[in-house]
Amino acid sequence: MFYFKIAIKSIIERRRQYKSLFAVCAVGICLMLSAIMITDGMIASMNEKARQYYGGDLQLLGGKSLSNDESDADKAIEILKECIDDDSVVISKRYNYDARNESFYFEGMSVRQRVIYGVDFQHEKALFEKFTFVEGTYYNPEIENLVLISQPLAKKLGCHVGDEITLYMTTADGYKNTSNFVVTGIFQDSSVFGMYTSYVNYSGLMKVADMNPPQVNRICMYYPDGMPSLIERMKLQKKLEAKVDMYPLGMDKEDFYKEFETHTTDKYVLISLESNVSNLKLLVQALQLIVIAIIVLLAIIISVGISSTYRVIVIKRSVESGTLRALGMNPSGIMRLFITEAFTLLLAGGLTGFIFSLIIAKIASLFNLSFISGFDLFLTGGYLLPDINGLKILGFVTVIIVTTLVSVLFTLRKLVRVSPVGAITATT
């Protein structure tokens, strides 16, 4: 405590000398933390969109075939419920229709689709409540055939909530069929996930696709608290292996499709969200590498800038050091004094930088950026929402402080080795 009092007093008395050091530390840490928060927020938004798009965090694929009767899917769901202890996990059956030649029509306009999801809106309430709707909502019990479409798709068709649009598609037997669906909700998503994706009620899709009996090609598991850990997935895998034949955990979805073609018995696989978004890994990795490069550069600037400037300041204070030695203070005491002073300065700069990074993050979240084409993948409701991870922030700031203090320490070692007389006469 003694050293801190002296350090604070010294910094106040020499505030003109230290203001540049403080500024370098505060600005550098502010920029570094802002980059971390914004990048983490972008990745978190992308993962949340992926969760919405794929129906949750885990998928159970396989069984007798890639597309199973609804009754077989119900049995698989019962097994999953026995293996998953958490009642909050939403387990739902879906049919993802690969819409290669399917289109929606409305008043002479048409839009091709990539994927049409047959879902149970009421059962998946916890998931669809996460969607950002610009019009309507996800469910209306009074409507038999309903559809959710993205805002870009609605603009191309020129339709609104309450309008009836026509789905033109190929049936399971290869025939052409049409059916009308009422638009109950228009969600904001111009990313690769939502642009050409629509959600229709499961029974309506089975009817227009002429699937009798109804088919299910995946069982989705949505964890409200987020993606289960690897340990939790391993436990679930082990429980499932005791009841059904399973492929190894961590198997890639495409590898599963290739191997399943030659399998003759019932067999399942757990597909994680990471596997589903594997095609976006390169994008995420590139984004993270850019941020890491920025952080490393800022860390070097902060460390070198502060240590170099502090060295000059310390050399100018050689007389003070010599005087302290002459009064009986040992070299280790002088080192602790200067280290405490540097630490206090870094701590104040780090705290100031953190506060300003929060301000920047708040300002960044105020602007609707959905007008930027393709950027919606990293937005939540059109806004950039930074993710504040306290432990990560503390870790990075600690690394900066420790690295800088180590470099300062080498400068101080040379100073304390000088004799009291040498230190006093060095600047006279």
Q: Point out which residues pair with 267 in neighbouring strands.
A: 63
Q: Domain-by-domain residue ranges, the chain?
A: 2-50+280-425, 58-225
HSE-up of residue 226 (Cα within 13 Å, Cβ side) = 5
Question: How would you write the pLDDT of the chain (428 residues) with one tens digit per residue?
Answer: 666 777 677 777 777 777 877 888 888 889 889 988 998 998 888 888 888 888 899 999 998 888 899 999 999 999 999 999 888 999 999 999 887 778 899 998 998 888 899 999 989 998 999 898 999 998 888 898 999 999 989 999 999 999 999 999 888 788 889 999 999 999 988 777 777 789 999 999 999 999 989 999 999 999 988 889 999 999 999 999 999 999 999 888 888 888 887 766 789 999 998 887 777 777 777 878 888 888 888 777 777 777 777 667 666 666 666 666 565 666 667 677 777 877 888 888 889 999 999 999 999 999 888 777 678 888 888 888 999 888 888 888 888 888 778 877 776 666 555 555 554 454 44
Q: 165 and 106 in contact (C-beta within 8 Å)?
A: yes
CA distance 418 to 319: 11
198: left (phi over 0), alpha (psi -120 to 50) or beta: beta
N residues, the chain:
428
The DSSP 8-state label assigned to residue 422 in this structure reads H
Which amino acid appears at position 191 of this protein? S
Contact between 64 and 205 under an 8 Å Cβ cutoff? The reply is no
Task: Locate 253 and state its tokens.
Answer: 């979805």
What would the two tokens of residue 346 be?
């870094």
Q: What is the dihedral of CA 361, 36, 344, 407, to 10 degrees?
A: -150
Residue from 327, 334, 341, 342 nearest 415 by CA: 334
Cα 64 to Cα 86: distance, rounded to the nearest angstrom: 27
Q: Is 329 exposed, middle or buried (0-12, 13-18, 19+ CB in 10 A)?
A: middle
The tally of CA atoms less than 13 A away on the side-chain side of residue 103 is 11
User: By the 8 A CB rule, do 41 and 387 touch?
Assistant: yes
Best CA proximity match to 51, nearest among 114, 123, 124: 124
pTM equals 0.77
d(CA 368, CA 268): 42
Considering only CA atoms, give the Rg of the chain. 31
